[in-house]
Amino acid sequence: MTIHIPSALRSYTRQQSEVQVKGSTLGDVLSELDNRYPGFRFRIVTEQDKIRPHIRIFVNDEQAQGLLAPLDEDDRIYIVCALSGG
Amino acid sequence: MAKTTSDTTTTKGPVTLLIGTRKGAFTLRSDASRRTWKLSLPMFLGHIVHHMVLDPRDRRTLLMAVSTGHLGPTIYRSTDAGKTWKESSAPPAFQKMPEGEKGRSVDHVFWLTPCHANEPDAWYAGTSPQGLFRSDNGGVTWTAFSYINEDPQYLEWMGTVQDGTPDGPKLHSIIVDPRDPKHLYFAMSGGGVHETVDGGKTFTPLIKGLDTVEGFDAATVTFHDPHCVRLCPSNPDRLYQQNHCGIYRLDRPSDQWVRIGKNMPKAIGDIGFPITVHPRNADVAWVFPMDGSTVWPRVALGGKPAAYVTRNAGKSWTRQDKGFPRADAWWTVKRQAMSRDGHDPVGLYLGTTSGEIWASRTEGQSWACIARHLPEIYAIETATLGR
């Protein structure tokens, strides 16, 4: 599946805006990304496994509420940096 | 190999200011006379830089506590005096709690302190919300230090996010006794000042003599809000503190803080955030008072900035405003944004919320603006970089 990387996180992905990943849940995918790009996951997920307050993750058109969100092979995942002040 | 410099050593030559701002980090480097200054390009532009500190043991390693508006906290480290940076592979993080139990999450790393001179590569970090962490590998990985992060009594003293400062409650002022690596102090806004003499096996509050806001019980640790605590390098038994409720001095082994701010002019009062101490004279300390009236504007009183110095351990204070604007300067100096160098006379440095840096080469007798138009300044540390 394809995961879209926002500009704030592309320093981890060598400036790639899209990355191909595998996994059956959002948690799996983010762990895989962290293996590939160390430090990536902690910037968007807390140590209590919660998505951080100013981060939103969408699976196709729906906002994921947590890391247990199930994924299909052809899903598109969007990590979005929400508004967080000037 | 660069030499380690004792904090009481009289330094000479160029001074480098390590500047953390709401929008990135900068350095400002002087010539040997400290008359001219050169500003760097921004590092990590757009990141919130809470603290940037040089390791005095090698004078090459820098750590930088960073977050952004969107992203979680991390620590960047440089081993070549800031030329290149790498991210910590395990930044400070609280214990993961079992599903269904409420756990805490680090919002940002607020404070960095190198450990004792005899513990190379070891550092402490203080976080928001309040947590104490340690690294033994130069900041590459971090783990909880001591028991306080998960201790029910300490969690009660830390209070909730609602009890803390507007941008989150903080653990700060981590101080290592230069004579004994097992002897530490730290402070929490809120949650008081604490001490260990056994390397963190046990900590005890150190709040006797400190006032609290009217109507609150001073015996309750939670209600204490130390803003900044400094230990005197020339007399490690003496500490100064700028608190939410006044300026204090503590001479160990006593555990009774003395409110030396009562000797400040009544029209000025003794409210503020930063405090800094002379490297070689424990009777000398500087504060930057702020307006703590009504809704706490937290700006220079009357729009007229001034530092105050004591040269007799707090018995009296002298105003130092030469060079500052005479009026209409409504800025604030945050608790980490006042620093000093090791020269003789000592150089003092202030960073303002309006993005200016003011310096004094004369121990505060006169001030000059050495940089302006920076983002809001969060922290300034002085450094003498190794070659």
Q: Provide DSSP, B245-297.
A: TEEEEEETT----B-GGGGS-TTT-S-EEEEEE-SS-TT-EEEEE---STT--
Question: ipTM of the assembly?
Answer: 0.93
Q: Which two tokens stand for residue B291?
A: 């307006």
- Sorted by sequence, the CB contacts under 8 Å of residue B29 that are 6+ apart come out as B14, B15, B16, B17, B37, B38, B40
Choose among A38, A44, A50: nearest Cβ to B71. A44
CA triplet B17, B21, B27: central angle to 5 degrees?
25
Q: A20 in contact with B at a CB cutoff of 8 Å? A: no
Tens digit of each residue's pLDDT (9 = 90 or more) over B25-40: 999 999 999 999 999 9
Q: Which pLDDT does position A86 carry in this prediction? A: 64
Choose among B91, B103, B104: nearest Cβ to A42. B91
pLDDT band of A85, cuts 50, 70, 90: low
The CA distance from B269 to B247, in Å, is 9
Q: Looking at the predicted structure, is the pLDDT value of residue B371 above 70?
A: yes
What percent of chain A shows pLDDT beyond 90? 92
Chain A positions touching B74 (Cβ under 8 A) are: 39, 42-43
User: What chain A residue is nearest to B104 in terms of C-alpha separation?
Assistant: A48
Q: A47 in contact with B at a CB cutoff of 8 Å? A: yes
Q: Are A24 and A18 contacting, i.e. CB atoms less than 8 angstroms apart?
A: no
Q: In what order do the strands lie in the sheet with B16-21?
A: B37-39, B24-30, B16-21, B377-383
Q: A7 in contact with B at a CB cutoff of 8 Å? A: no
Mean pLDDT of chain B: 95
Chain B positions touching A54 (Cβ under 8 A) are: 69-70
Q: Which pLDDT does position B5 carry in this prediction? A: 55
Q: Looking at the predicted structure, is the pLDDT value of residue B166 above 80?
A: no
How confident is the model over B217-223, as a mean pLDDT? 95
Cβ distance B68 to A9 less than 8 Å, yes or no, reads no
- Chain B closest CA to A77's CA: distance in Å? 18
The count of other CB atoms within 10 Å of the CB of residue B187 is: 28
pLDDT band of B148, cuts 50, 70, 90: very high
- Chain A closest CA to B55's CA: distance in Å? 23
List % helix, strand, coil for chain B (3-state, nearest 5). 5, 35, 55
User: What chain B residue is nearest to A39 in terms of C-alpha separation?
Assistant: B89
Cβ distance A48 to B69 less than 8 Å, yes or no, reads no
User: What chain A residue is nearest to B23 in terms of C-alpha separation?
Assistant: A86
Residue carrying the six token digits 């190999």? B1
- Chain A closest CA to B74's CA: distance in Å? 8
Chain B positions touching A82 (Cβ under 8 A) are: 70
- Chain B closest CA to A10's CA: distance in Å? 12
Q: Looking at the predicted structure, is the pLDDT value of residue B2 above 50?
A: no
Choose among B71, B96, B104: nearest Cβ to A43. B71
Cβ distance A49 to B96 less than 8 Å, yes or no, reads yes
Chain A positions touching B103 (Cβ under 8 A) are: 47-48
Chain A positions touching B104 (Cβ under 8 A) are: 48
The CA distance from B154 to B230, in Å, is 22
Q: Which two tokens stand for residue B111?
A: 């404070």
Chain B positions touching A42 (Cβ under 8 A) are: 72, 74, 91, 93
Q: Which pLDDT does position B367 carry in this prediction? A: 98
Q: Which pLDDT does position B3 carry in this prediction? A: 44
Q: Are B121 and B136 contacting, i.e. CB atoms less than 8 angstroms apart?
A: yes
pTM of the model: 0.96
The CA distance from B144 to B161, in Å, is 20
Tens digit of each residue's pLDDT (9 = 90 or more) over B167-207: 899 999 999 999 999 999 999 999 999 999 999 999 999 99
Residues of B at the A interface, defined by Cβ within 8 angstroms: 68-72, 74, 87-89, 91, 93-97, 103-106
Q: Which pLDDT does position A84 carry in this prediction? A: 62
Choose among A42, A47, A84: nearest Cβ to B69. A84
Q: Which pLDDT does position B363 carry in this prediction? A: 98
How confident is the model over B66-70, as a mean pLDDT? 91
Cβ distance B70 to A38 less than 8 Å, yes or no, reads no
Side chain identity, residue B82: G
For A35, the 3-state DSSP assignment is helix
How confident is the model over A52-60, as a mean pLDDT? 95
Q: Which pLDDT does position B387 carry in this prediction? A: 62
Residue carrying the six token digits 């202030």? B350
Cβ distance A54 to B69 less than 8 Å, yes or no, reads yes
Size of interface A-B (CB pairs under 8 A): 53
Cβ distance B70 to A49 less than 8 Å, yes or no, reads no
